[in-house]
Amino acid sequence: MRKLIKYPKVKLSVLAIITAGLSFSCSDFLDTPPKDLFTDSNYWTSENNVRTFSWLNYDTFLGYGNNAGTTADFYFHNSSNFDDNLNMNVFTTFATTANATNSSWNSYYTLIRRCNLMLQRIPAVPMDDVKKNHYLGVAKFFRAYTYFRLTQDFGDVPYTDVYLDQNDVNVYKPALNRNEVIDNVIKDLEEAATLMLPIDDKNITVNKFTAYALLSRVCLYEGTNRKYISSQAGGIYLQKAKDASLAVMNNSAYKLNSDWKSLYNSIELLGNTEVILAKRYLRGVLGNSIQAYTNTSTVQSGLSKFAAESYTTINGLPIKQVGGNSQFLGDNTITNVFANRDPRFAKAFGNVDYAYSDKPLNGLTSITGYIFQLYNTPAATGTEVTTIGQNQIDAPIFTLSEVYLNYAEACAELGTATSTDLNLSINKVRTRAGIAILTTDGSNALVGGVQINDPQRTSSLEQISGAVNPLIWEIRRERRLEFMSWTSLRKADILRWKKGDYLDGAKNPDVLLGARIPSLIGTASKTKVNADGYVIPYTVSRTFISPKNYLSAIPTNDISLYLAEGVELKQNPGW
């Protein structure tokens, strides 16, 4: 039987009591609780209790969602989390006014409070020092991860690293500058990496190398965010990203899978050598709906024209390479579109035919014509494919492939990248994918001795915020294609590169178009196409407003709550 972390029945009541205590003060517990229930004052007595309490933290990893829920990091996006790869089956755009509440804001601060409680209580728990240090590292890891996401979403945020009673005067403090928050995040992760065990429970709980993987992500984000968003020096963070990546890359236990698709359609990721951390599913315990939503008659969300055209041919050249690319056969037919293209294209999408409202394929339709098949696996049949809440494929959370691409990008941004660096990192990903490897002179990118010259790199769209050199451009492309499962990484990448214009329908019309189906031109089809035959999924457009849409609005209820305590919590620009 597949192993899955499960809360012992006796602990469920423990977790309910202690979780309730995180929303209120410790003194809010009943003075005389039932003798069969724990309270904060009598819970912290063993390693087993600490471990059980730490399991609550893992709910923050959304993976493919929980049971019938569609709050997830893959495929299911909402109005606050969409990117330039996917056109949703219902039009999505940016909020125009600040909401009173924000579920992420609330859940993130609940998790931070829980981590601070762990850090305060664990030192006094009678347990082995090695395990004590490990769980201190676990708490620091999750606190860092959560503050990182808060700064990504909201910028400057209130910060506390101690567990406070609800009546403490320090509960309400002005927001800390995001730069200082990130420095605290990095400090937490560096300390976590020294405290945590090299391996705890294979790859289903966090360990030393999960901390390094997250540190790699955080520092790459911060180095590029400071460079492109804040016009500040980011080199120190990029070097930290490179070093943290190497800590993972030098661990021989981690290796790429032979097949890229297996990251996203495996029934079992426990012990998978490419997966640094996985979210696991088991029938009767926890399921998801990722396959059901992409294998039923419901109209699928679909690939955008902008994303489809980013796939290179197998020679590694962009389809619009200056001087021509003989491997690209055009897009008059679906056969031509997929011919000689990066094999990941056909692994993620059906290449037999398009499917749309007037012409379903095996009962499926897509809002852009491209049928999604990334999560399909022959190992799952029946209700494990078709029934909402009963799908069982596991979700990757941190992977070696991401670390490789973090390393390559950090080197390129530092201006120190060599072909050796590329062979250590991005070329392993490209070789696994089945496309030609890159070489570089430090700023240019070549395949088979041919210099890559993609006209898109210097297009008017790119000039809005500034074009990057060819090597950085190709590494960015590789991130897009490798993670074309619509993880939240793409949205984060767009924002840290200051490329929010990618999401704007006026500045980037291709983001709101789909497949080219010339046979629909001039017909009465319910699926509309433009004069060139590209599917038009929506009758409305989308505008990206800078700087407003680079950050979410601070919930207005929280602004009012802080103000009532005499503290000003400033709203983000444009809101």
pLDDT above 60 (res 33): no
**Average predicted confidence (pLDDT) for the chain:** 92
Instruction: List the one residue out of 55, 201, 168 whose CA is nearest residue 118.
Output: 55
Q: What is the pLDDT of residues 233-253, one digit of tens each?
A: 999 999 999 999 999 999 999
Range from 21-35, 143-157, 462-476, 500-514 carrying the lowest mean pLDDT: 21-35
Q: What is the pLDDT of residues 455-464, one digit of tens each?
A: 999 999 999 9
Amino acid 79: pLDDT: 65
Q: With 0-12 CB in 10 A as exposed, 13-18 as middle and 19+ as buried, what is 410?
A: buried
| Whole-number percent of the chain with pLDDT over 70 | 93
- What are the angstrom distances between the C-alpha of 190 and each of 137, 241, 323, 405? 9, 12, 48, 20
ω into 8 cis (within 30 of 0): no
> Do 220 and 409 form a contact (C-beta atoms < 8 A)?
yes
pLDDT above 60 (res 395): yes
Range from 38-42, 118-122, 490-494, 505-509 carrying the lowest mean pLDDT: 38-42
Interatomic CA distance for residues 115 and 36, integer angstroms: 25
Instruction: List the one residue out of 38, 178, 234, 51 whose CA is nearest residue 127.
Output: 51
Q: Please compute Rg for the chain using Cα positions.
A: 24
The residues, any chain, with a CB within 8 Å of residue 96's CB and separated by 6 or more, are none
Q: What is the pLDDT of residues 444-477, one digit of tens each?
A: 999 999 999 999 999 999 999 999 999 999 999 9
Q: In whole angstroms, what separates CA 448 from the centre of its chain?
A: 32
- What are the angstrom distances between the C-alpha of 397 and each of 269, 275, 405, 427, 463? 11, 8, 15, 22, 33
Amino acid 2: pLDDT: 41
Structure confidence at residue 487 as a pLDDT band (50, 70, 90)? confident
| Residue given tokens 């692994």 in the structure block | 347
Q: What is the pLDDT of residues 73-119, one digit of tens each?
A: 998 876 678 999 999 999 999 999 999 999 999 999 999 999 999 99
H-run or E-run covering 440: strand 439-440
Instruction: Enter the tokens of residue 524.
Output: 């009465």
Q: Which residues make beta-bridge pairs with 302?
A: 87
Torsion 201-188-211-204 (CA) sign = positive
Q: What is the DSSP letter of 230?
A: S
| Ranges of H-type helices in 444-504 | 460-463, 470-482, 489-496
pLDDT above 50 (res 6): no
Tell me if residue 526 falls in helix, strand or coil: coil
Amino acid 237: pLDDT: 98
Amino acid 39: pLDDT: 84
pLDDT above 50 (res 14): no
- What are the angstrom distances between the C-alpha of 215 and each of 130, 417, 488? 22, 20, 17
Tell me if residue 447 falls in helix, strand or coil: strand
Q: What is the pLDDT of residues 331-382, one digit of tens each?
A: 999 999 999 999 999 999 999 999 999 999 999 999 999 999 999 999 999 9
Amino acid 485: pLDDT: 81
